[in-house]
Amino acid sequence: MSKPLSDHDRRKQISVRGLAGIENVAELKQNFNRHLHFTLVKDRNVATRRDYYFALAHTVRDHLIGRWIRTQQHYYEKDPKRVYYISLEFYMGRTLQNTMVNLALENACDEAMYQLGLDMEELEDMEEDAGLGNGGLGRLAACFLDSMASLGLAAYGYGIRYEFGIFNQKIVNGWQVEEADDWLRYGNPWEKARPEYMRPVHFYGRTEHHPDGVKWVDTQVVLALPYDTPVPGYRNNVVNTMRLWSAKAPCEFNLKDFNVGGYIQAVLDRNLAENISRVLYPNDNFFEGKELRLKQEYFVVSATLQDIIRRFKVSKFGSREIARTDFSKLPDKVAIQLNDTHPAMAIPELMRVLVDEEKLSWEKAWDICVRTCAYTNHTVLPEALERWPVDLFAHLLPRHLEIVFEINRRHLEVSTFPGDNDRLRRMSLIEEGGQKRINMAHLCIVGSHAVNGVAQIHSDILKATVFKDFYEMEPHKFQNKTNGITPRRWLVMCNPGLAEVIAERIGEDFIRDLDQLKGLRKYVNDEAFIRDVAKVKQENKLKFAMHLEQHYKVKINPNSMFDIQVKRIHEYKRQLLNCLHIITYYNRKYRLKILYPQFLQLSIGEVVNNDPVVGDRLKVIFLENYRVTLAEKGIPAADLSEQISTAGTEASGTGNMKFMLNGALTIGTMDGANVEMAEEAGEDNLFIFGMRVDDVDELDKRGYHAEEYYNRLPELKQAIDQIAGGFFSPKQPDLFKEIVNMLMHHDRFKVFADYEDYIKCQEKVNALYKNPKEWTKKVIFNIAGCGKFSSDRTIAQYAREIWGMEPTLEKLPAPDDKDAEMAF
């Protein structure tokens, strides 16, 4: 009888992970031992597992360095147009395995560790997630960096090196407790500090108007210290840079009045300046007008623009002499992409630099600014839009406020709607009323040559509603760029079994050209392929079940359907609709058989999971501390993906694409990218339910009355009564009263309106799941329809249609290619 393959044997089989040549393995072992000795100052007798991880990380990083330096040399010598992707979030996750995949080193490293008696997965598990993002927006930025490098674009990601990323989430007695994410505690082997490129950033002060221009004086200075992280492309020898800024107090910080007491206090006060890069704000889709946040936004923008202009002026590698002073060429050499409005200060800051420092006329500077900048919008929710109080601006950035006022004056003057005062008021950058505010989305639209939404339906909604006035004035600015995900991390790395099964049928080129997945359609009735796809899914479920048992102490049946909803908690994502289905399903199947309701515990999960009648047939689990690394484990194991936002509220979603690529079927509304997923895979191959955007609008006009649904649908009434009556919280019967009150009286997202259709759709899901072969056929149609959702396609569109750059699949020469070195 053959024994199952171990992970080690399995990885050795996988061709998409690179060949483990004997020389490769020997060299890796040698370098590993060298780093253990010289970098970590340890020997095998005292080294810990973390030491081994760091030794391996440095060994793999060595393979990046030559490519990294060469790539930057190549850019300096060829002087291509460069794109600067500015984002307050980069949700990178772990770096080691991704680097091994992109450099085709994984099998060789795996073999080397095996020969050294070490377990690769254990070492990978020592790496901290770089959690410098909240969710979709930050993870999108990370996928984009991977694609920009894989497409050979001269690209830079610019952001903040937060000392503390997204908090670690603990659930204690059913309540969330946040703990600081001290991700840099043990050091970060992937970053390189660059103190030689430190830049001053100014705050506060006042402006002086002189005949020769405006001066911003009496400012407080904070230094921006850059840390560079290499971003390797997929097997093309390109290594781009993500540069994250850290705040440092200058040496003379508050040391003017020198006495011992004052000196000690001044040194302690340095923390105030350095707080700028201390912590990531954990709000997503909600604007909170805090001074520290505005400081962060200006900090990253000011430091980045200084870098951009320095690099623009210096054209040849190794020379710091100023070679280029004609700023009219800036838009030919520089593209700046603003990831949402968080980096919107780039627009007034670029104007300040060009007008005040480089002495260009306003008209010339404005033309350059607009042609250089482009803006991506990520949400239509009004509470998420940034609207900064004018008073705060005046205090923190007085010169920028003057510039914004001037931009607004000229914008309203040239408006094509003179005399239409209502429209001009709506289009103003300054919102009048109680407290004057600056509308940052309006600033971005006016100061950019391109504005894009992130799925077709979202871009259409922007043009028809939120930005309608601007669209009517400048329709040429508005575009769509449907989001995508990198297939390197979200297939090859996290689901090697599926990647291999696909490669056996259509070859490996799909990894850099995901459209080739269409070739799987001809295998949709192929018995062997159906069997292979189902087998990989079952193996992934088994592995995830073991992970849950080990880390969450929950035992689940790997033969049951894994129905997963991955979303930040927000009303529009409608986790409550999912809860109502769970309760309804539980009531139908098991409620009548329950004999001892007094033993039921605090929440739905506790009630269901502890019901002896239910057994292992239904489990409800909330996985705490969701992050990129947990996604990489859970997504390949999912059978059903829940994408159930109210139509017209989710801009795009990218989790939906990750589930689809990894062989889950989608139950969802016609919202965000779900619409395009249905187009690509065939609507029959998704479980679509609920109101469309037009239906939601219609319901808004008629008026949404939750009690009508409550009175008409007995199962909904039963579920709501159970929640309200303390069935799921017997020790605190009133615990969920507020939720019930919201659902019944002020639910903006109309959960009850979609309840009936959702329950019916879930019945279809259950029926199909009982027919594994037909289920897997739909899975194959979905995987085959994923080509559009590669971030490579998204980035190629940004490059051609917004940045004026041409992607290339050509490889750079490898560092050890001596012939190529001569040809450089």
CATH number of the domain where residue 411 is located = 3.40.50.2000
Question: How high is the mean pLDDT of the chain?
Answer: 92
Q: Which range among 363-377, 507-521, 807-821 shows the weakest confidence by mean pLDDT?
A: 807-821
Confidence of residue 610 (pLDDT cuts 50, 70, 90): confident
The answer as to whether 99 is a domain residue is no
Q: Which is catalytic among the residues 449, 573, 574, 627?
A: 573
Residues 258 and 378 in one domain: yes
The answer as to whether 765 is a domain residue is yes
Question: What residues does 39 pair with on adjacent strands?
Answer: none
Residues 476 and 606 in one domain: no
* CA pair distance 331, 314, nearest whole angstrom: 16
What is the rounded average pLDDT of the residues 454-473? 97
- The range of the structural domain enclosing residue 650 comes to 496-693+755-792
Considering only residues 316 and 747, tell me which one the structure prediction assigns the higher pLDDT.
747
Query: Catalytic residue at 717?
Result: no
The answer as to whether 222 is a domain residue is yes
Quote the DSSP letter at residue 774: H
Q: Which is catalytic among the residues 17, 378, 399, 788?
A: 378
Q: Which range among 293-302, 315-324, 528-537 shows the weakest confidence by mean pLDDT?
A: 315-324
User: Considering 480, 512, 545, which residue would you say is the last residue of a domain?
Assistant: 480
Residues 507 and 467 in one domain: no
Q: Is the pLDDT of residue 818 over 90?
A: no
Q: Is the pLDDT of residue 336 over 70?
A: yes
Residues 154 and 193 in one domain: yes
At 254 the pLDDT is: 63
Residues 531 and 461 in one domain: no
3-state secondary structure 615-640: CCCCCCCCCCCCCHHHHHHHHHHCCE
Distances (CA, A) of 682 to 138, 636, 678, 783: 30, 22, 5, 11
At 601 the pLDDT is: 33
The share of the chain scoring above pLDDT 90, in percent, equals: 84
Residues 246 and 294 in one domain: yes
Residues 466 and 508 in one domain: no
User: Considering 480, 511, 533, which residue would you say is the last residue of a domain?
Assistant: 480
How far from the centroid of its chain's Cα atoms is residue 16's Cα? 25
Q: What is the pLDDT of residues 709-759, one digit of tens each?
A: 999 999 999 999 999 999 999 999 999 999 999 999 999 999 999 999 999
Count of residues making up the chain: 824
What is the rounded average pLDDT of the residues 548-567? 92
Residues 418 and 531 in one domain: no
Q: What is the pLDDT of residues 674-711, one digit of tens each?
A: 999 999 999 999 999 999 999 999 999 999 999 999 99
**pTM more than 0.85:** yes
- Do the Cβ atoms of 144 and 795 come closer than 8 Å? yes
Could you tell me whether strands 220-232 and 239-248 are parallel, antiparallel, or unpaired per DSSP bridges?
antiparallel
Q: What is the pLDDT of residues 775-784, one digit of tens each?
A: 999 999 999 9
Q: Which is catalytic among the residues 243, 295, 449, 567?
A: 567
Could you tell me whether strands 213-217 and 220-232 are parallel, antiparallel, or unpaired per DSSP bridges?
unpaired
Q: What 3-state class would DSSP assign to 759?
A: helix
Query: Catalytic residue at 658?
Result: yes
The answer as to whether 402 is a domain residue is yes
The answer as to whether 73 is a domain residue is no
Query: Catalytic residue at 378?
Result: yes
Q: Is the pLDDT of residue 261 over 90?
A: no
At 599 the pLDDT is: 27
The answer as to whether 707 is a domain residue is no
* CA pair distance 638, 498, nearest whole angstrom: 13
Confidence of residue 315 (pLDDT cuts 50, 70, 90): low
Distances (CA, A) of 158 to 84, 115, 359: 7, 39, 26
Find the helix or strand (DSSP H, E) in which 776 lies: helix 772-784
User: Considering 480, 511, 528, which residue would you say is the last residue of a domain?
Assistant: 480
Residues 390 and 434 in one domain: yes
- Do the Cβ atoms of 608 and 619 come closer than 8 Å? yes
Closest Cα partner for 462 from 385, 384, 382, 380? Answer: 380
Q: What 3-state class would DSSP assign to 158?
A: strand
Residues 139 and 243 in one domain: yes
The answer as to whether 505 is a domain residue is yes
Q: Which is catalytic among the residues 341, 649, 654, 669?
A: 654
Query: Catalytic residue at 535?
Result: no
Considering only residues 12 and 531, tell me which one the structure prediction assigns the higher pLDDT.
531
Q: What 3-state class would DSSP assign to 479?
A: strand
- Do the Cβ atoms of 297 and 342 come closer than 8 Å? yes
Q: Is the pLDDT of residue 574 over 60?
A: yes
How far from the centroid of its chain's Cα atoms is residue 482's Cα? 14
Q: What is the pLDDT of residues 44-57, one digit of tens each?
A: 999 999 999 999 99
Q: Which range among 12-21, 324-333, 611-620, 791-800 shows the weakest confidence by mean pLDDT?
A: 12-21
Structure tokens belonging to residue 190:
């992937």
Alpha helix ranges (H) inside 127-193: 136-150
Residues 398 and 525 in one domain: no
Q: How many separate domains does the chain show? A: 2
Query: Catalytic residue at 199?
Result: no
What is the rounded average pLDDT of the residues 811-817? 85
Query: Catalytic residue at 573?
Result: yes
Could you tell me whether strands 387-389 and 437-439 are parallel, antiparallel, or unpaired per DSSP bridges?
antiparallel
The backbone region for 507, taken as left when phi is positive above 0, alpha when psi lies in -120 to 50, beta otherwise, is left
**CB count, 10 Å around CB of 409?**
13
Q: Which is catalytic among the residues 310, 568, 712, 764?
A: 568
The answer as to whether 36 is a domain residue is no
Closest Cα partner for 661 from 483, 491, 795? Answer: 491
Residues 473 and 415 in one domain: yes
Q: Is the pLDDT of residue 9 over 70?
A: no
How far from the centroid of its chain's Cα atoms is residue 715's Cα? 38
Q: Which is catalytic among the residues 342, 463, 658, 788?
A: 658
Confidence of residue 602 (pLDDT cuts 50, 70, 90): very low
